[in-house]
Amino acid sequence: AVEKKAELGRAGWTLIHTTAATLPTPLTPAARDGVVALLRAVAQTYPCKECREHFASFIAVHPIDIESRDSILQWTCIAHNAVNARQHKPAYPCGDIKALDARWGDCGC
Amino acid sequence: AVEKKAELGRAGWTLIHTTAATLPTPLTPAARDGVVALLRAVAQTYPCKECREHFASFIAVHPIDIESRDSILQWTCIAHNAVNARQHKPAYPCGDIKALDARWGDCGC
Ligand SMILES: Cc1cc2nc3c(=O)[nH]c(=O)nc-3n(C[C@H](O)[C@H](O)[C@H](O)COP(=O)(O)OP(=O)(O)OC[C@H]3O[C@@H](n4cnc5c(N)ncnc54)[C@H](O)[C@@H]3O)c2cc1C
Ligand SMILES: Cc1cc2nc3c(=O)[nH]c(=O)nc-3n(C[C@H](O)[C@H](O)[C@H](O)COP(=O)(O)OP(=O)(O)OC[C@H]3O[C@@H](n4cnc5c(N)ncnc54)[C@H](O)[C@@H]3O)c2cc1C
């Protein structure tokens, strides 16, 4: 059961970070609205109740930074770090766009 | 790159099917609206362009069956089977709610 929760978490972050990393630059209004809708829908529907409530509070306190592709990708990283901190895991270097791109920028598609 | 595309696909389906399988019964309007928003956001933002266009067309031709938790879970199964068919993979038994629940109903959370 613990393994299922972790697997779902990895799936959620894979979809979220890859979606953010592959947004167009310059960002279009449609792409921006789409990713905001995705993040809000995850905050509303993510199967783990404690997780989605944390994520919804995070969005409420730290509005999604929709300035650019980079800022949205960094926002998803900071949101993930908030969970890492609760799990006593190391923080990811969210200031390092190259690291984020190397990890999440290739969707193979 | 092909492996990245498959990994993203598994992540996307894991989030989608687990979200559908863990909807409340009886379904509430908020849960129903949330999952519809999630599916539409995926159709709008999924990183693989060909995939999201196929998925958006699928939704347009086969409206999401929002009757109940079971019907939404089965709808996600049928949508996934449309991709399986394009990939010449076997169809999943979408009529078998017990099989779907055994595969996706436990989020460990
Ligand atoms: C929206 C959401 C909310 C969640 N809330 C909770 C919660 O409240 N409690 C709970 O127990 N679990 C929560 N989870 C699950 C949790 O975050 C992990 O996914 C799960 O514990 C599995 O952890 P992991 O160590 O395998 O790697 P994950 O944390 O899933 O990370 C996967 C990979 O992402 C990369 N990565 C790590 N940190 C970052 C970052 N900051 N930015 C970008 N990439 C990064 C690394 O390469 C890592 O291997 C949540 C998941 C999601 C999607
Ligand atoms: C919305 C979306 C659209 C996609 N569109 C395309 C596309 O157009 N072209 C493309 O090449 N790839 C597409 N993909 C990716 C593709 O569906 C696979 O995820 C990917 O090819 C990896 O396949 P896989 O064999 O590892 O397992 P997946 O097909 O990812 O399946 C993962 C697991 O789900 C279970 N499963 C299988 N079928 C079903 C079902 N019908 N219902 C419920 N559970 C099932 C099985 O246990 C399986 O092991 C899409 C993914 C998503 C999320």
Taking only the tens place, the pLDDT of each residue in B18-66 is 999 999 999 999 999 999 999 999 999 999 999 999 999 999 999 999 9
In whole angstroms, give the CA distance from residue A63 to residue A103: 24
pLDDT digits (tens, 9 = 90+) for A75-98: 999 999 999 999 999 999 999 999
Rounded to 5 degrees, φ, ψ at A11 are: -60, -45
CA dihedral for B99, B21, A79, A4, sign (positive or negative)? negative
User: Is A109 a member of any domain?
Assistant: no
In whole angstroms, give the CA distance from residue B54 to residue B38: 16
User: Is B109 a member of any domain?
Assistant: no
Q: From ligand 2's centre to the CA of B62, what distance in Å?
A: 18
The CATH number of residue B79's host domain is: 1.20.120.310
What local confidence, expressed as pLDDT, does residue A10 receive?
Answer: 98
In whole angstroms, give the CA distance from residue B56 to residue A45: 20
Domain residues for B35? Answer: 2-104
- The residue in chain A having the minimum alpha-carbon distance to the alpha carbon of residue B24 is A47
Q: Considering only CB atoms, which chain B residues are within 8 Å of A37?
A: 37, 40-41, 44-45
User: Is B55 a member of any domain?
Assistant: yes
In whole angstroms, give the CA distance from residue B46 to residue A92: 24
- Residues from B contacting A (CB-CB < 8 Å) are 1-8, 10-12, 14-15, 18-19, 21-22, 30-31, 33-35, 37-38, 40-42, 44-51, 106-109
User: Is B59 a member of any domain?
Assistant: yes
User: Is B93 a member of any domain?
Assistant: yes
Q: Is the confidence at residue A1, as pLDDT, over 90? A: no
For residue B1, name the pLDDT band (cuts at 50, 70, 90): confident
State the average pLDDT for chain A.
Answer: 98
Tokens of A74: 């960094």
Closest in A21, A34, A45 to B34, CB measured: A45
Q: Tell me what ipTM this predicted complex has.
A: 0.98
For chain A, the domain total comes to 1
User: Is B86 a member of any domain?
Assistant: yes
State the average pLDDT for chain B.
Answer: 97
Q: Is the confidence at residue A26, as pLDDT, over 90? A: yes
In whole angstroms, give the CA distance from residue A60 to residue B57: 33
User: Is B60 a member of any domain?
Assistant: yes
Tokens of B100: 């779907």
User: Is A36 a member of any domain?
Assistant: yes
